[in-house]
Chains A and B, each alone.
Chain A
Amino acid sequence: MPQMIFVNLPVTDLDKSKAFYEAVGAANNPAFTDDTAACMVIEEGSIHVMLLTHAKWAAFTGKTIPDAHTTAQVLLCVSADSRAAVDGQVDKAVGAGGKADPTPTQDFGFMYGRSFEDPDGHIWEVMWMDPTAIPAGEPAEASA
């Protein structure tokens, strides 16, 4: 079985957040969606986001929900295939009511990263890395 992660996020307005995540390219999986939760697929079989209403969230944990617009506990970063794809995803987020660039743009030539904020303030970074710039599996001294 492939390794899978489900990123569970509390959201104040499930319909709005579902539409937002669809706009940035995540597909809804109706089998795991109802009026308290929505499963959004970033990469089928490996990376999923579960959007949960605050009421549903409270059933899972006694911890309070911090205001993600003013604090942060996690920065979620997903890869993109090109610099243009990074910009495109941030543009889509803005078009769907999200906020662009809550964190500084990172541009190192071989790597380019920007970010957007979902309606609840959760920060997503989108990053492209030049595949040819990623070090090979062998230590550098061994490949010289």
Chain B
Amino acid sequence: MSDSPKMIFVNLPVADLAKSKAFYEALGFTNEPRFSDDTGAAMVWSETIFVMILSHEKWKGFTDRPIAPATSSEVSLALALGSREAVDAMVEAAAAAGGTADINPVQDHGFMYGRDILDPDGHVWGPFWMDPAVANGEAPVPETSL
């Protein structure tokens, strides 16, 4: 029996659940009401990729480690998108929905294009596009890229 595809749930603490829910919807996530209440919301990116945004109170039920300040970053979450235009559209949507655009220099390597944004709580996301031939391994990763 083959294993079913693995799913990932990225759990993030947020200060204002309604605001964050609207932010992630603006980015293109879909809310799943069956796994949402007034302490957390499941935001669906795909059949296997989910973001769980959790109120600070709910978050404390999962870990007693304090939330690191937004001036620091434990993780950066990169999402592969279908085109350069889709990357730009997500960055614009983020800026319009309470996030911050282009916290880092735009990465434009020709075969790869990425921009980094912050959500309302300072969590780092990096929408990017990569030439499918490179992503699929049909073309080599250009030498200068890594």
A125 surroundings in chain B (CB, below 8 A): 9, 11
Cβ B78 vs Cβ A8 within 8 A: yes
Contact of B68 among A2, A31, A71, A78 (CB under 8 A): A71
B45 surroundings in chain A (CB, below 8 A): 3, 5
Asked if A63 meets B79 with Cβ closer than 8 Å, knowing A32-B141, A36-B146, the reply is no
For B7, B78, B82, B137, which residue has the most chain A Cβ atoms within 10 angstroms?
A: B7
Cβ A63 vs Cβ B73 within 8 A: yes
A71 surroundings in chain B (CB, below 8 A): 65-68, 74
Cβ A5 vs Cβ B76 within 8 A: no
Cβ B77 vs Cβ A77 within 8 A: no
Task: Give bound CA distance, A70 to B66, whole Å.
Answer: 7
Interface residues of A (CB under 8 A from B): 1-10, 31-32, 34, 36-37, 42-43, 46-47, 50, 60-68, 70-81, 102-104, 122-123, 125, 127, 135
Q: Can you list the 6 inter-chain pairs with the closest CB atoms, starting with the nearest?
A: A66-B68, A3-B46, A71-B68, A63-B73, A4-B80, A6-B78
